[in-house]
A and B are shown apart, each in its own frame.
Chain A
Amino acid sequence: MNTIKRIIPVSGMTCASCVSGIEKEVGKMKGVVNVAANLAENTVLIEFEDETTKLSDISKKIKDIGYTPLEDDAQGNNSINHRKNELKQLQKRLIFASILAIPVFIQGMFFHHYHNLAYFSFVLTFVLMIFPGRRFYTSAWRQALKGRSTMDTLVALSTGVAFVFSSFSLLNPSFFIEKGLMPAVYFESSAIIIAFILLGKFLEEKAKTKSALAIHLLMDLQPRQLTVVRNNEEITIGVDEVKLYDRVRIKPSDRIPVDGKVISGQSWVDESMFSGEVLPVKKEKGQEVKAGTQNQQGSLLILAEHTGDDTHLAHIVRIIREAQASKAPIQKLADKISAWFVPVVILLAVITFGLWLAIGGLEHLNHAILSMVSVLIIACPCALGLATPAAIMSGINRAALEGILIKDASNLEMAARINKLFIDKTGTLTFGMPTLTKEEWWTDDQLAFKHVVAAMERLSEHPLSTAIVDFYKDFGQQLEIENFEAIPGMGISGSYQGKRYFIGSNRLLINNNITIDTSKTGTDYGLSEVYFSDESKCLARFLINDPVKPEAKSVVEQLNEFNIEIEILSGDKESAVMRIANECNITAWHSELLPEDKHQIIKESQGKNSITAMVGDGINDAAALAEANVSIAMGHGSDIAMETAGITLMGADLLQIPKAIKISKRTLSIIQQNLFWAFFYNIICLPLAAGLLYPFGGWLLSPMIAGAAMAFSSVSVVSNSLRLKFIKL
């Protein structure tokens, strides 16, 4: 069954209850496999079956529940613009609300004996509630009609109760006086709560938008305009007007706007953003160029083969966005709890009110009202809803800026818990650019066979083959090899002039019953060995050296500090693997492995309760990568490798591995801090708000303080998460 993933930007989500509401309703739809609403990103990530469900149906459903889905492109241009607008709106509402709330506050605090001034506050508060504060009430009402409650419900209820009670006291003081009570008004509570919550929302949105923009900057690497050559005419057009197979003119110091091939011209292009390699790469006819990379001094004419949402850069941006919108396992608990939060809080508020009257009698009516308002306001679950996604967003962002692509939140969480790391040797620990250092021939007809070796190796993509091809550059150009076959983990075979030849490890020869004369191959240099044989006897041995990356040793040290055990998995022979292991200070290794052996070793290790990571370069290690808890793909990350690997490291720098783990660990600890504070805060503050301390010294939490505390709990969770931007790696 085919499923597709889409990110829908959604406006109107305010708290953890909105998140669980959307997930529950949309999750019930037929054909929807997975829903993850994200409060920090204001998005809903949906995975659904293409055949049974349409995206428009899902959008409609979201609308029905009371939120606004937005149209978007793969880069999220619309949602960014929408966010900026929302932020501006919010700022206006905040300023308006503050102008109204400040006089109400001053009157309530310092001039509450002037009865006539209270009318003034009544009017101001009313205006505040129906203009800048209106959204709380309309949203609460919409949700109530569907039998649901969110943070808006709590805000609406608490400010509404305070306002209605105060208005009644103001307009009907005799009702209280007859009962021997002092009429009291609390307009300042309603006004200040709304102002504070708007302030909190504003700060939170501001931080969130900033974070979302950082990824958007990546997309800006793609130029907005480009010059195409159509029927010998150069026309400048917008990047979205370029057609597949247009020819695009790249001028000196332009950024490349599309993925494609060079048709003519010559230049050097800085591809450091993808490869990590700082030196520009030479580009000439036939070579590939990627959107977003930086042309240097030459001019190029290129063929557009992937444009718009289909470029490598766009794929990367999409993966990052999906990752940010995904949900960490740790968050599920928080979501489960917050789904129950609001109704429970309303119940608690009513109980508080009842207890005050039951214990204190009618003369405590004022306190009962105030405590109820405080309970409603302090228990808003918005910090709880933000605790995980804000940290995930920030962590994935930071990783992306370091050239580390983390596929989703669960990989991030898992990476923080890795305690065993398997690493491939060739191309991962080593440069993967092996060079042939010694050839040994055991035949008199070397020349003829060199042509055969070169021709066969040209058909293989293995790094060791490349070394041999480089060495025999001028050989075997015209030879036709038949029945070519690659035997994974062992080597290749092919026929020439009716005779079958093998090139590969000694195991390949043994499997084919070809004996290697050990008296000739006496010396073991600890280098990679490649044998060449015909159907009966071994004809030559090639010794190939692949130097270890200089940073390997320090990476091993850093990983050991994280208490991660490292083992090398290699298809190469024992002595070669041992030499590399010694050079890197790695104490455990497995050699002469086939792809399925690697897979088996990882499986066994997981059986022993370890969280395993596999670092490899993709193709050869595909099965092992898929089996590991966290798969880390190194190198120039093809689109497919990016989709499958849990973590993709741009470039070949091994130091990216401890960096990725460090970012994951810090993100996880920030999530834990956030969750702790969000829960702790609610648990501690609820009894205070209910008036638990009143019997001991008459201390009562003012609803205004509750409003401020509640606003700043969300702000503190978001700012705590933003620290990930600045941590030292």
Chain B
Amino acid sequence: MANHLFKTNIHCNSCIAKVSPALNKSLEIEHWEVDTESDEKILTVETSLTAREIETIIQTLGYQCEEIIK
């Protein structure tokens, strides 16, 4: 299980509602949240999936998503 941070353009509640099902559905995602207050709209995901896989999930839904390498 690792924590990944992503820069996204998920900026409002309706965007969150759009990405929720896909993130909720994966049993490999233990926990996720989007900080819509932050400038970079940071998505934090605690998961056993790779960062690339998370990016794909979000990008398929039509949002930008890019891992922030710490």
Contact = CB atoms under 8 A, between A and B. Distances in A.
Interface of A: 230-232, 243-247, 261, 263-264, 285-286, 303
A245 B61 CA distance: 16
B34 to A, nearest CB: 6
Contact of B25 (A230, A285, A286, A303): A303
Nearest to A264: B30
A245 B27 CA distance: 11
Given A244-B21, A245-B21, A285-B27, 7 more contacts: A232-B33, A243-B20, A245-B20, A245-B25, A247-B24, A261-B27, A263-B27
Contacts of A303: 24-25, 27
Given A261-B27, A285-B27, A286-B27, A230 B21 contact: no
B68 interface: no
B2 interface: no
Most A Cβ at <10 Å: residue of B24, B30, B32: B24
B57 interface: no
B24 A246 contact: yes
Interface in B1-59: 16, 20-21, 24-25, 27, 30-34
Nearest to B43: A231
A250 B40 CA distance: 33
A245 to B, nearest CB: 4
A285 B34 CA distance: 24
Contacts of A261: 27
Contacts of B34: 231
Contacts, number: 28
Nearest to A248: B24
Nearest to B21: A245
A177 B34 CA distance: 97
Contacts of A264: 30
B63 to A, nearest CB: 14
Contacts of A244: 21
A232 B25 contact: no
Nearest to B29: A263
23 contacts: A230-B16, A231-B16, A231-B20, A231-B33, A231-B34, A232-B31, A232-B32, A243-B20, A243-B21, A244-B21, A245-B20, A245-B21, A245-B24, A246-B20, A246-B24, A247-B24, A263-B27, A263-B30, A264-B30, A285-B27, A286-B27, A303-B24, A303-B27
B46 to A, nearest CB: 10
Contacts of B31: 232
Contacts of B20: 230-231, 243, 245-246
Q: Is the interface of A mostly helix, strand, loop or mixed?
A: loop
A391 B24 CA distance: 47
B58 to A, nearest CB: 14
Contacts of B32: 232
B69 to A, nearest CB: 23
B28 to A, nearest CB: 9
A303 B29 CA distance: 11
Contacts of B30: 263-264
Contacts of A243: 20-21
B22 to A, nearest CB: 8
B36 to A, nearest CB: 8
Contacts of A245: 20-21, 24-25
Most B Cβ at <10 Å: residue of A231, A245, A247, A303: A231
Question: Which 9 pairs show the lowest CB-CB distances between chains A and B?
Answer: A232-B33, A245-B21, A245-B24, A247-B24, A231-B16, A245-B25, A231-B33, A263-B27, A286-B27
A303 B24 CA distance: 7
A247 B20 CA distance: 9
A82 B19 CA distance: 41
Contacts of B33: 231-232
A468 B37 CA distance: 56
Contacts of A285: 27
Nearest to B44: A232
B27 to A, nearest CB: 6
A421 B24 CA distance: 48
Contacts of A230: 16, 20
A126 B61 CA distance: 72
A232 B34 CA distance: 8
A459 to B, nearest CB: 22
Nearest to A303: B24
Contacts of A286: 27
B14 to A, nearest CB: 12
Most B Cβ at <10 Å: residue of A244, A247, A264, A286: A247
A231 B8 CA distance: 15
A231 B34 CA distance: 6
A263 B48 CA distance: 13
A246 B16 CA distance: 12
A232 B29 CA distance: 13
Nearest to A304: B24
A466 to B, nearest CB: 23
A305 B27 CA distance: 12
Nearest to B10: A231
A246 B20 CA distance: 8
Nearest to B32: A232
Nearest to B31: A232
Contacts of B24: 245-247, 303
Contacts of A263: 27, 30
A83 to B, nearest CB: 38
A230 B15 CA distance: 12
A136 B19 CA distance: 59
A243 B14 CA distance: 14
